[in-house]
Amino acid sequence: MVLLVLSILVFSILHLVPGDPALTLAGMGASDQDIAALRQQLGLDKPVWVQFGNWMLGIVQGDWGRSVVSKEPVLPLLLDRFKMTFLLASSGIIVASAIGIFLGVNAALRANRVSDILLSILALTGVSAPIFWIGLILQLVFAIQLGWLPATGSGTIIFLILPTIAIAGNSVGIIMRMTRSCMLEVLGQDFVRTARAKGLSPRRIVYKHALRNAFIPILTVIGVQFAYLMGGAVLIETVFVWPGIGKLLADSVFRRDFPVVQGAILLIGFFFVLVNTLTDLAYSFVDPRIRLR
């Protein structure tokens, strides 16, 4: 149902955007007859509801249409770019989760101290800073001034470093704040005091007992952030010229390539629903009580 509503909204909004794909494809010097013939070829002369029905029928059958610019089938084109976006988002969420959980645990252990306040300011800065601004700053410092890393492009793993840091910036702050909040709640419970009374090491108490019991809300945030990175990677991919689905989506919007835009948003929406479903299923592996129920 979510994907159906999403497809209706995307199709409707794109057809309200000013601009004619047939005119864009034919060129400014094309005659009215050529534009009319092209509109008929693309199916744009039919009523909107007929166009939507034909598009949805093709989606179900695996035919997502063809790009009006490159003439390539939309689905293979999207899947090829999707792999690059998935690589970028996966590396970003791994870095963000590792740093965010570590800083959140340490902030909870030093609650209301100077280090906790400094970490909270750092998290707020990461959440507030636009990711494209972070990307531009990283390019300016590490690519242009220092020359350590490439500013744009793809290829070896070295090209992935700056985009990964940039795309993980917001998520680090969000995961850290959630980890700190959950850990503060769990550290005051009876089972933690019992573990301390038994003489368990502080490291074991924090990471094996407290963090595990606090992990479900953290896991939820990680799942949502991973899905968000897949959809929000368009800015980072544009800044770093990363050949992912976000860069393809941005280019297709400017070229009025409706089939590619519709397919890209639908694919991102499907992935968002899939990640949230897998996150819900992962709860049973984190908390045995949920599995027993």
Q: Tens digits of per-residue pLDDT, 200-248?
A: 787 888 877 788 888 888 888 998 888 888 876 778 888 888 888 888 8
More confident residue, 55 or 75: 75
Q: Does residue 94 carry a pLDDT above 90?
A: yes
d(CA 117, CA 107): 8
What confidence score (pLDDT) does residue 124 get? 84
pLDDT of residue 70: 79
Alpha-carbon distances, residue 254 vs 18, 19, 24, 82, 232 (angstroms):
11, 10, 10, 20, 18
pLDDT, position 292? 58
Q: Give the CATH architecture of domain 78-292.
A: Orthogonal Bundle (1.10)
- Residue 293 pLDDT class (50, 70, 90 cuts): low
Collect all residues with Cβ–Cβ distance below 8 Å to 65 and sequence separation of at least 6: 55, 58, 73, 74, 259, 262, 263
Predicted confidence (pLDDT) per residue in 103-132, tens digit: 988 888 888 888 888 888 888 887 888 888
Contact 220, 268 (CB under 8 A): no
Query: Residue 264 above 80 pLDDT?
Result: yes
* Nearest in space to 249 (alpha carbons), one of 82, 54, 44: 82
Question: CA–CA distance from 31 to each of 26, 49, 68, 80 (Å)?
Answer: 9, 27, 18, 36
CB 264 within 8 A of CB 59: no
Q: What is the pLDDT of residue 15?
A: 72
Distance CA 140, CA 279 (A): 37
Confidence of residue 261 (pLDDT cuts 50, 70, 90): confident
pTM for the full predicted model = 0.79
Across-strand partners of 73? 66
Q: What percent of the chain clears pLDDT 90, i.e. is strictly above it?
A: 6
pLDDT value of position 202? 78
pLDDT of res. 119: 84
Decide if 248 contacts 81 (C-beta within 8 A): yes
Whether the predicted pLDDT of 92 surpasses 80: yes
pLDDT at 73 over 90: no
CA-wise closest residue to 166 among 134, 143, 124, 128: 134
161-187 vs 215-239: helix crossing angle, rounded to 10: 160
Q: Which of 290, 210, 245, 250 lies closest to 80, judged by CA?
A: 245
> Could you please report the per-residue DSSP string of 262-291?
HHHHHHHHHHHHHHHHHHHHHHHHH-HHHH
- The reported pLDDT for the residue numbered 224 is 87
> Which token pair is 168?
């993980």
Domain regions of the chain by residue span: 2-60, 78-292
Q: What is the pLDDT of residue 28?
A: 66
Lowest mean pLDDT among 44-53, 102-111, 126-135, 261-270: 44-53
